[in-house]
Chain A
Amino acid sequence: MSVKHSLLALIYEKPRHGYELKTGFESLVEGLWPLNAGQVYTTLDRLERDSFVESPGHDKKDRKLYTITQAGKEELWSWLNEPVGRSLFKEEFYIKFLCASHVSYDNKKTMIRNQKETILKDILHLTQLRKQMSLSGNDTMKLLIEGALLHLEADMKWLERIEEEL
């Protein structure tokens, strides 16, 4: 689960309290993934339960601090080293298209057109974001965006291929 491990990575960097982890995470993802405070504290409870983090006490403002344990570090390395597979049906549109074919849905062309429109919107949004990241010098985010754009480009080509066949 990426939130859990992202929080571990932030705590690895330095001891932090809950609110600092929320803002740290949001800063890491350039504000693109707002995190619910409740989710942060629930995750911290689980990390503490699993002995991946521990608390050395509270800061001057009485906020509970967390530090990473040896087990937490090992968990983080293990997660970083684990490759990520790609499931064929994780893409919801694939399932939709499968179902549309199954029920002989006669509006597939509209489905494709709408999907292309959504992809274009994503491409334009990400292209602008890439521009911002480039200007602010955030090379890591730029690389992630480039990856996402390559996927979108492939999706677009795939949709064009289906369109030709319909």
Chain B
Amino acid sequence: MSAPEDRPAVPAESPAAEDVARKRTEEPENRWSVAFREIVGGSWGVSVGAVILAIIAGSIMIVATDEGVRAASGYFFGRPGDLLAAAGGAISDAYSALFRGAVWDYRADSFAESIRPLMVSLNYATPLIGSGLGLAVGFRAGLFNIGGQGQMIFAAIGAGWIGFALQLPWPLHMLLAMVVGILAGALWAGIAGLLKALTGAHEVITTIMLNHTAYYLLFFLLATPGLLQAPGSANPKTPAMLESAQMPKLLGSGYHLHLGFLFALAAVVFTWWLMERSKLGLTFRAVGENPHAARVAGIDVSRTTVWVMVVSGALVGLAGVTQVLGTSVTGFSTDVDAGMGFDAITVALLGRSSPLGVLAAAILFGGFRAGGATMQAAEGIPIEIVTVIQSLIVLFIAAPPLVRAILRLPKPGQTPRRKAAQPAKEVAA
């Protein structure tokens, strides 16, 4: 029937060509990119759930480390009620202290004193908003910018230098310092974007390396007289910002909250417009969701990558600028970023990479920071509990898709065999 001699030639595909064809169809199904997208753009329910679970886990740690609870557990079988009472007391003490420190101090005498914690929280939130937005833009475009630290440092160097070295009237001085700082942040991130576009170097690696480069560059500048170091000082610290470059306090000198907060809010609006209403944002999202289709639609994926990093770095740069010109106006040193470049990752994840979500998450984290200090002072609960809660939030959000990707598990609720889902589409249509 099918003797080979009857057959003119074996109609073989060129194996390599077939390989190419196969790769094209398999790539978008890549389980890692699926996991990435689920992590950075999942549902709000997951975000809220992650926060609640993390707080519950935090409670367990508070209970486990509380002296009173440990004492009561010694005679648990004698009087179990004591243990429960002690545990409940420890938790409610801790979280009420957190609330007092973050939102509303109900023990204070005056309204002005009572809202002080909220202002502190918003002040802490300010840089997290900017850097969180920067990360979120990257996430939406499929890029993982871990270089927040370096970009904030670079922005601080730029803004800081303008801030103390030039003599200009307010607000010109402040605005110039801001622009220079933001551009510096954009430039520093843009390097990573350029490296990715030109050589394919992964942005996670290059941004981490650029973090170190920026850190040691700042260290060098601070330790070298005549550069960033305050004159007549041997400390690795810059001079104070000139009055004309500072961001004024919003509600008088009684509160820390400064103009930077409003800039951060403006950045939220701008980012929303950029991602949802601008052509550039559409290309960012298209490249992030499906670079193949973006390419066929004439979008230059490499160039877009550079722009994404530039915008991301600019937003992170805004965070660095508000730190230098608004929060630590007496001069800064190598810890100017205060870990916000990394907290921004959590903020962007928790905020589902949406501008409003980032705003909410940043304020929540600002509150954790402010309240954590009060909790430590009032209840002796280590502030690290707050760090643990933040870390658990990331874990709860990121772990399920990651575990699925690593173990090649199907998403729950979906039929494991993809064929099964297809009739649904056809019939529905």
Interaction A to B: no
Task: Give the interface of B toward A (CB within 8 A).
Answer: none
Task: Give the interface of A toward B (CB within 8 A).
Answer: none
